[in-house]
Copies of this chain bind each other. A is one copy, B any other.
Amino acid sequence: MDAFSCDTAVEPAGPGRWRATVTDRWNVPAGPPNGGYLLAIVARAMAAELPFSDPLTVTGHYLRPVSPGPATIEVEVVRTGRRHATAAARMLRDGREVLRALGTFTDLARADGPRHISATPPPLPPREQCAQLVGRERPDIPPFAQRFDWATPRELLGWREGRRSGQPQIGGWIRLTDTETWDPLALLLVADAFAPAVFQLEDLPIGWVPTIELTVHVRRRPVPGWLRAWFTTDVLLDGYLNEDGIIWDDADQPVAMSRQIALAPR
């Protein structure tokens, strides 16, 4: 079983209750587990209570810092319809609520209807021209980064050595290191996988950017292979920032959109 499936698995623990283990394999550079990883666990429990498994729209509100360890997810089924089903959920660690979520699920395999796409795929060069990194071969990097293969335009990595691009945009090619196939729930993870776009701004410290709320819309089940993701912050105001993301799959389809509101690094 691939690491994502394994580390987001949930086990029944009574009516509307699920047990999970928040592993330390998805810890970000600053230390704690990635927020998209936590949301994926909660969404897994929601899907387990609903007749549909694709997270058409999931919102998480991050309430407290989370450390790895056993967690409980309580799910309330809000409504089940023919085409959509809605659930609310909360994740508890050590008896304290750390994450509250609300989601509407569907069966994207049955989705059908008009199409008009004016969004354009991320402005990424071919992978061969990018800085490539195979996560599993790099025990020296943070656990989260080890879970993926990355291909990132070199000019987007300069912020690590103090060469900021000046444009609050970030992105790259990404895939899980141990599977080619995509669980739609893994798009919640990819939606929060990259360094904050505001790290490209000269006048901001490189530091923790606490997500207050993250919403992800999964629009299509990705085909196997690489994804391309792109994130932009266009309004940093009074210490708060939005970060909007779009994820495209190897068949050149937009498979997910995300938006989060977070605190600027201090």
Contacts and interface: CB of A to CB of B under 8 A. Distances in A.
A241 to B, nearest CB: 8
A254 B179 CA distance: 42
A104 B215 CA distance: 13
B61 A102 contact: yes
Interface residues of A, number: 59
Given A57-B213, A59-B59, A86-B63, A237 B115 contact: yes
A119 interface: yes
B234 A219 contact: no
Q: How many copies of this chain?
A: 2
A238 B83 CA distance: 13
Interface in A229-249: 232-240, 242, 244, 246
Contact of A204 (B61, B64, B114, B254): B114
Given A212-B57, A213-B59, A113 B254 contact: no
B201 A238 contact: no
A259 interface: yes
A123 to B, nearest CB: 15
Contacts of A237: 115, 117, 219-220, 253-254
Contacts of A259: 215, 217, 257, 259
A119 B236 CA distance: 10
A27 to B, nearest CB: 23
